[in-house]
Amino acid sequence: MDSISLIKSPISAELEDFKKHFDSCLSSSNLLLNSVIAHIRQKNGKMMRPILVLLAAKLYNEICPATLHAAVALELLHTASLVHDDVVDESTERRGQLSVNAIFNNKVAVLTGDYLLATALVEVGMTRNYAIIDVVSNLGQDLAEGELLQLSNVSNPEYSEDIYFDVIRKKTAVLFAACMKAGALSVGVSDEKAEYARLFGEYIGLCFQIKDDIFDYYESKEIGKPTGNDMLEGKLTLPALYALNSTHDKQAKEIAVKVKNGTATAGEIARLIEFTKEHGGIEYATKVMVEFKEKALSLLASMEDTDVKKALVCYLDYVVEREK
């Protein structure tokens, strides 16, 4: 059995219920909206976030309707954020196909994202659980703040790992944290257990983003974006930050300034990528990622060995070891 099948196995029936409910939420009488949503859903991804909601709930109790509503709300909010992100980043690709803004236009993309966000709010309201509503509301704020923080960091002359982690916590880790916490809250756990779940999700999210950033230093059509895409968007991620800060190389820093200014050529970006690889950037980022993985595993250590716990361990392994 492959990793994804192992992860899904304890929640296979509930995952089918999630899919049916998710589909029903996205039906509309508006033909343009239906066309956009149909395009988005051609590449649904692996549904890693709703899977996490369901696993978090089942770790403590039986999955209930509030769990499914929370999972749908969070997946809708995530999808909305991706559609909006592509407009902000002027990206033309998402999951190996043309982005919404590339096929339609920015107006349609923004309005579709707004519709998905509004639908997420309807869904989270149906949980009738104020603690879950609070989680999703704060998540929306954090995701927007993360985008703004990333934009403002482009003009920051420092190469700060602290700022990098602030950005990825708010852009990525906070979503995985919300999935775990909302799932746990949906089955009535204590505040202490909900916080443990949230922290576990945060560690997963940090691993996920660092792994994504490492991918950007290699060519792969499977990932759905070309090598150096982050640098083309003015972003310096953990591998490059380490290489720049550990060597203080003048020429590399001159290219890094151009990257942040959006004036670096393709050749200069290729040189900075090679410089990062040659000076231990990938190894350093991998080491940091594995440290977060170990912290996540330590949170599960005292729990009884169940199929759900095994699935969460497998989830962590998959995030760290995946090849796309």
> Can you spell out the DSSP letters for 132-182?
HHHHHHHHHHHHHHHHHHHHHHTT--S--HHHHHHHHIIIIIHHHHHHHHH
Report d(CA 150, CA 234) in Å as an integer.
Answer: 10
Q: What is the pLDDT of residues 205-246, one digit of tens each?
A: 999 999 999 999 987 655 545 577 889 888 999 999 999 999
Q: Determine what percent of the chain is predicted with pLDDT higher than 70.
A: 98
Which CATH class, in words, describes the domain spanning 3-321? mainly alpha
What is the model's pTM? Answer: 0.94
Total length of the chain:
324
* 42: pLDDT strictly greater than 90: no
Question: Average pLDDT of the chain?
Answer: 93
Angle at 230 between CA 275 and CA 289, to 5 degrees: 75
pLDDT score at 220: 67
Dihedral angle sign, alpha carbons of residues 116, 122, 125, 127: negative
pLDDT score at 284: 98
Type of residue found at 184: A
Least confident of 127-131, 276-280, 302-306: 302-306
